[in-house]
Amino acid sequence: MRDAPETVPARRDRRRIREEGRRRRQRALWIGAAVAVVALLAVGGAVTAAMLGSQGGTTAAPAETAQPEPIVFPSDEPAPTPGTEPCTTVRALSSFENAEMVSTLAEAYNAEPRNVDGSCVTVVATKDKSGIAAEEAAVGFTELPEDERPTLWIPDASSWLGIAREAGGSANVPEEGESIGSSDIVLAMPEELASAIGWDEEPPTWADVFATADDEEVWNDLDHPEWGEFKLGKTSPLVASSGEAAMLASYGAAAGSVAELSADDIADDEITDEVRQHELATSHYMATPEHFLWHARQAEDKGGSAADFLSAVIVDEKSVWDYNRGITSRDGVTRIESEPPAEQLVPIYPTDGFYVADNPAVVLTGAWVDEAEAAAAEDFLRFATTEEGQAIVRETGYRDLNRELDPGVASVGALAETPRGGLAFPEPTVVVAMHEAFPDVRKRANVLFLVDVSGSMGDRISTGATKLEAAKAAISQALDHFADGDHVGLAAFSEVDANPLAPGEVSAVDDIADTRDRFEAALAKLQPIEWTPLYEAVDTFAKQQGDDYDPDRINAIVLLSDGRNETEAPSTTSAQMIATLEDLHHTTPVLVFTLAYGADADVKTLQSISSATGAHYYDATDPTEIDEVLGDLVTSF
């Protein structure tokens, strides 16, 4: 069900906003230099608070403030001989974004003899999404056995320490951490697009960024209609630091100052309305920056352009360096190394400030961390701040504690040597207020869950449940992610008795606030049937979602399938299905997120379906992971 047609005043408001965006760009051509100078004087370049892991709402120092003396990093001092076994184990939990840096530091530390209070030490690096790690830290990582809980937590930004503490984790998480390196969170654009709009030479303010993203005619006005609408990529602020930075910048731009954003600003109705308007320009949200960059590279590798998928994306500098050297990741876990892309990304540092991911390390204070483990963790942190440790920080794409980059990293990533305007994340009350406000301001969804109910969905998994029972439980849990105003529906597919799509739609796509009971009742009644008309189902329901396309919503299908296309009678072919998806992508784009469920799922086909629509493929070939995987997937909305 679609919303009522847009009113004439609403259309006038949208035209007015687009015109303001055009005028901003025109003014930027002749006052850009003056704006840059004023902005630099306003926000300065000091990021000392961020580098020290401060949670204060940092406003940068004036330009004339004396810069601190560079830190002289001490040399590492390994023990002459290792301590006795068994070694003390330090489990170091990082974010996905900084996992390479932390794991490389752990390898280098473990390569030398260590002796802390008479014991040898082994550092084991693990990783998780920032938001998930913060949730787990708040409750003391109770889902893990005590001997598998982290000793050390190194999220990629201090904001997550505050989130964990505010959620009840004060007994487990210290107030502040010790930064081991930093990465600025920037606006990254394909080089040709950045040049066409002039932001490679005259960086915009965040207000300019969001106004431009809302301007449907921006590329037409710049004689590049082939690039379509301005597509701004953002990660979910509930999961990733870059998503937090994007949302905080949106609020700051609406409030008039990114550097001085307050919790009162986030509660302001007029500011909230403007942020809600900003979010309409978002194609969809993703869990990590790697998800967006993987799709951009796929677009180029298929003979197109990165501009087919994104115009700009808000990411950390390290991700820009990775992309430009040919490293991408579909899932944030596995890495694909290939030749550098033909279309390099350009990092853009908005003139009114940009947040700094400061990689704070904290030795956790939960009861599971004993004195020996805490002492060993402190020794690992000592190593991270030595000359040898800081060299690793630079070599893995980060700025060291003097804000210096490795020259090769700076060159490949096209990163600014000394960018001005770095900001620490605001104090916890501001970040928490933003997290709480996000469900209200985010772009609303128009989503159909499309579930395979072929006979194999009756097979049992290791938990004792059938695959369909486990899927139904996961889908019911995933509904908690949606809020009033999200339109959500349910369809299921099999083939039996010449019915090519049985049972078909069982709960129409409509406001979940009104239909959740109906949805869950229909979900509970689903039963395994027989065949798997995968191509027919995707083709049919993608067309239906296309017919109900709403440009102010994320229009999508969540497809869960455990098998290959199998039909009793002739049906839609794979080529016909892909052609439908590609046609829709250029007119009324419907994102088809695919989830391979169980070992027999047709992974290749599901990947091609998601790829054709600019959506993402998710792997639940281990069906016991369906809750976690589907929970990750719905952060796209």
Of 320, 364, 370, the residue nearest 154 (C-alpha): 364
Topology (CATH level 3) of domain 184-352+433-437: D-Maltodextrin-Binding Protein; domain 2 (3.40.190)
Residue whose tokens read 């869990």: 287
Q: How high is the pLDDT of residue 43?
A: 33
SS3 542: helix
Of 393, 376, 384, the residue nearest 150 (C-alpha): 376
DSSP summary character for residue 481: G
Which positions of the chain have pLDDT values less than 50? 1-65
d(CA 280, CA 441): 9
Q: How high is the pLDDT of residue 502?
A: 94
Q: How high is the pLDDT of residue 25?
A: 37
Buried b (16+ CB within 10 A) or exposed e, 263-290: bebbebeebbebbbbbbebbbbbbbbbb
Show me where the domains of the chain are located.
84-182+358-404, 184-352+433-437, 443-636
d(CA 364, CA 149): 10
Of 434, 436, 399, 433, the residue nearest 418 (C-alpha): 399
d(CA 273, CA 42): 26
Q: Which string of DSSP letters, residue by residue, matches 196-220?
A: HHTTTTSPPPHHHHHHHHT-TTHHH
Q: How high is the pLDDT of residue 332?
A: 66
* Amino acid identity for residue 46 in this structure: A
Of 510, 358, 451, the residue nearest 52 (C-alpha): 358
Q: CB neighbours of 342 closer than 8 A, spacing ≥ 6? A: 300
Hey, CA dihedral for 618, 624, 628, 631, is it positive or negative?
Answer: positive
d(CA 84, CA 121): 9
* Amino acid identity for residue 229 in this structure: E
Region of 598 please: left (phi>0), alpha (psi -120 to 50) or beta: left
Query: How distant, in Å, are the alpha carbons of 51, 284, 443, 518 from that of 476?
Result: 42, 22, 21, 12
Q: How high is the pLDDT of residue 66?
A: 59
Of 315, 308, 380, the residue nearest 114 (C-alpha): 380
Topology (CATH level 3) of domain 84-182+358-404: D-Maltodextrin-Binding Protein; domain 2 (3.40.190)
CATH level 2 (architecture), domain 443-636: 3-Layer(aba) Sandwich (3.40)
Query: What does the CA dihedral 330, 332, 337, 343 come to, rounded to 10 degrees?
Result: 70
Cα radius of gyration rounded to whole Å, the chain: 25
pTM equals: 0.84
Of 338, 341, 289, 291, the residue nearest 317 (C-alpha): 289
The phi, psi pair for 363, rounded to 5°, reads -80, 115
d(CA 540, CA 523): 20
Q: How high is the pLDDT of residue 348?
A: 98
The residues with which 507 forms a beta bridge, in sequence order, are 490
For the stretch 223-250, pLDDT in tens is: 999 998 899 988 899 999 999 999 999 9
Region of 9 please: left (phi>0), alpha (psi -120 to 50) or beta: alpha
DSSP summary character for residue 166: I
Asked whether 576 and 547 are in contact (CB, 8 A), the reply is: no
Query: How distant, in Å, are the alpha carbons of 96, 289, 313, 420, 575 from that of 235?
Result: 13, 6, 9, 24, 32
d(CA 93, CA 446): 36
Cite the DSSP H helix spans in 526-573.
534-547
Cite the DSSP H helix spans in 214-288.
218-221, 241-255, 263-267, 269-279
Spell out where 435-587 has E strands: 444-452, 487-496, 499-511, 553-561
d(CA 287, CA 97): 11
Asked whether 43 and 420 are in contact (CB, 8 A), the reply is: yes
SS3 431: helix
For the stretch 2-14, pLDDT in tens is: 333 333 334 334 3
* Amino acid identity for residue 316 in this structure: D
Q: How high is the pLDDT of residue 157?
A: 97
Of 485, 500, 462, 636, the residue nearest 558 (C-alpha): 636
Is it true that 84-182+358-404 and 184-352+433-437 share their CATH fold?
yes
Cite the DSSP H helix spans in 405-451.
407-413, 428-441
Total residue count of the chain as it appears in this document: 637
Cα-to-chain-centroid distance, residue 564: 30
